[in-house]
Structure 1
Amino acid sequence: MLKLFRAPHNYVQGKDALLETYDNVKDFGKSFLFVCSRSAHKQARPVIEKSFEGKENKLIFEIFGGISSNGEIERMRQIVRENDIDVVCGVGGGSAIDTAKATAYYEHRPVVIIPTVAATDAPCTGLSVIYNDDGSFDKYIFYPKNPDVVIVDTTILSKAPVKFLVAGMGDALGTYFEARACVASNAPSLENGGVTKSAMALCELCYETLLRDGLKAKQAVERGLLTPAVESIIEANTFLSGVGADNGGLAVSHSVYNGFTALEECEKTQHGSIVAFGTIAQLLLENADLEEIGEVVHFCISVSLPVTLEQIGVTDVERVHIAAEKACAPGESIHNLLGDVTPDALYDALLAADALGKTYLQ
């Protein structure tokens, strides 16, 4: 298996970065569809329009339905065709971004990503998570390239509710451990290639950054402040985690998330929150050193990431069987773990993670 490494063509991050949107996208076309979440439309549209002032471009802003569903993607594709759109832009959180990426892919257009929260690593990845119209997980779409441009305006992200930054840290937390598992089992990355040293270096830096700056960034964002620690964690959540996961691969953490999407009581739980809890379960399945597990659990508690089932919305442990079965479905990344994982083994690990979390919370 050949090793490979991919990343967005351009990554731009900093204070008031959206004021330079035009300069970063002008070479891709004259007409733009901005697929926006409702809150992102309110926050980002005025700044984006300001960057295009005096320019001869067509801008269409469309508020999408809330999840990256097959039906919503088809609706956006129709808008692209009817308006002869040159460039598709995703503005908002992970679902808006994934909807835009899928739309651009199917319509053979460049894609520009403008996150307004640092809740997932979706902006930089070459894939989308697609849901059925009822909200249940459907599939991943893997793209031949990563986004053309990612523009991260940290002024906007630092003003977003802190729960999004925390969820992004949960998503990023799995990056190093899942990549490490893929290297151990010689499993391919999300780009279907071997894991390079460069990829592992980014994954390790992602984890180190979380430990060093996570709590400082959380405390700053709680007060609406933009500090070096916030800039650092936004980069970790967005770039280091996204490019790291793309080129390092997934294992248990993200399969656990996919499994828990089958439970109604977890519908409002953030993606990254469940990924963080899944990371603890993965470490128990690997029988990792208690010191390492403790470091992860302490980090989660310090930034308010969940360490128990109740904290992700589950009070009936028998329901965990449903999530474990779904997480271990054929094709799931959980099978990248050395020795593989059965639903029964995962169920036991999830309950063990819950018990451990309760112990550390005492």
Structure 2
Amino acid sequence: MPAETTIRTVMSPGRYVQGPGALTKVGEYLAAVGENPVLVADDVVWGFVGHDVEASLRSAGLPVHRDVFSGLATVGTIDRLVQVVADTGADVLVGLGGGSTIDAVKSAGHLAGIRWASVPTVASTDAPTSALAVVYTDEGAFLEYRFFPRNPDLVLIDSQVVANAPVKLLAAGVGDALATWLEARATAKSGSATMAGGLPTQAGTALARLSWDILWENALPALDAVRDHLVTPAVEKVIEANTLLSGLGFESGGLAAAHAIHNGLTAAPQAHGLAHGQKVNIGSLAQLVLEGAPTSEIRDFVEFTTRVGLPNTLTEIGLGVDDVDTLTAVAQAATVPSETIHSMPFAVRPADVVSALRSIEGFATRVRAEAGLPAPVKYVAGH
């Protein structure tokens, strides 16, 4: 819906650092942010980055205190981290890992009144750079967005660590980032407010488009390189597109239907095991259908995202065209008054979302067959 303001604004993290071996410098960059950091990471992440992080902090004269993260960014987890800050006297919280860890850290850092930093070990979402967090219920359903007055003070991402992670995580980040331009152009057309709290800036919209262009040019060779754990220029470009450009683009360019439909899909238990970007990709395709986008554009999107390894049919996310009750619940959750689907340049009803979701099955399946691409099969959770 149109914004009730003429103010335009853009938001960004205080510093963005990216490159192979960046983790060895995390202590140096954190020392400019705080003197008593608490590192938040799950056991898996700490197992492969803990040694380098600990050595870097000690080299910078910083203490090493790690809190174990598990699960999702829930209200309970966030409140527990606030208590950890109080107990340790921390002046900066550092999220190491994926989007949920980082969102929990941002939320807790804000509530505790201290600074926070993002050290993502994957490029699977644009959460690390933003001034908002997605909070979930204990059952894994979307609960709410939380907004903060500032972005992380530091975002540091080691591209070799990203290249060492499973390739499916980078592919999921491509799914999340592809939505950025689709949603930003819809927001610009409708004149709706962005997550930054004003109208879209030229910078935000342009960065959203830049993210899209980089991904179409570099995603496939980058994914091939990461399968062999290699860092190439294409990999560096995709990491930046997935993390920084998409983060700035969605926040200062605007969200619309794609992410609202993602949030709706969290109401479907069948989709709980899927990565954020996998569900977002279903939302992007449904948004193109809702817009009445040119058939050639939708066809190209199906072909490209299939090659990337992203779902673009209901079958792949464990649903079907006959699951009308579930799809209706998804559509109702996606169209609640607070959702970003109302930034589309036209009204969207739950019935419209149901029709869009049901329609992608047959079209995407046919496009894939005509292009000689694999037929849809149900994704195994998280794959």
Whether 1:317 and 2:293 are equivalent positions in the alignment is no
Structure 1, unaligned runs of 5 or more: none
Determine the structure 2 residue equivalent to 1:345.
352
Q: 2:31, 2:62 within 8 Å by CA — same for their partners in 1?
A: no
The aligned amino acid for 1:328 is: T
Q: 1:92, 1:114 within 8 Å by CA — same for their partners in 2?
A: yes
Correspondence list, 1:53-72, <5 A: 53-72=58-77
Determine the structure 1 residue equivalent to 2:380.
none
The aligned amino acid for 1:304 is: G
Q: 1:33, 1:62 within 8 Å by CA — same for their partners in 2?
A: yes
Determine the structure 2 residue equivalent to 1:277.
282
Aligned to 1:120, which of 120, 125, 132? 125
Aligned to 1:178, which of 162, 179, 183? 183
Aligned to 1:248, which of 241, 244, 253? 253
Q: 2:27, 2:58 within 8 Å by CA — same for their partners in 1?
A: no
Deviation at 1:55, TM superposition (A): 4.3
Determine the structure 2 residue equivalent to 1:360.
367
Deviation at 1:119, TM superposition (A): 0.7
Determine the structure 2 residue equivalent to 1:216.
221
Q: 1:256, 1:323 within 8 Å by CA — same for their partners in 2?
A: yes
Superposition misfits of 4+ residues, deviation over 6 angstroms: none
Structure 1: distance between partners of 2:323 and 2:157? 40
TM-score (norm 1): 0.98
Bigger Cα displacement from structure 2, 232-241 vs 305-314:
305-314
Correspondence list, 1:1-362, <5 A: 1-315=6-320, 316-318=322-324, 319-362=326-369
Bigger Cα displacement from structure 2, 94-103 vs 40-49:
40-49
Deviation at 1:136, TM superposition (A): 1.6
Deviation at 1:290, TM superposition (A): 1.6
1:44-65 residue CA offsets vs partner (Å, 9 max, x unmatched): 2111111123444222111212
Deviation at 1:274, TM superposition (A): 1.1
Structure 2: distance between partners of 1:105 and 1:355? 45
TM-score (norm 2): 0.93
Deviation at 1:37, TM superposition (A): 2.6
Secondary structure class of the residue paired with 2:64:
strand
Report how many aligned residue pairs link the two structures.
Answer: 362
Q: 1:67, 1:95 within 8 Å by CA — same for their partners in 2?
A: yes
Structure 2: distance between partners of 1:55 and 1:291? 54
Q: 1:158, 1:226 within 8 Å by CA — same for their partners in 2?
A: yes
Structure 1: distance between partners of 2:230 and 2:158? 14
1:265-322 residue CA offsets vs partner (Å, 9 max, x unmatched): 1110111011111111111111111222222112101111111001122135222111
Backbone CA RMSD of aligned residues: 1.1
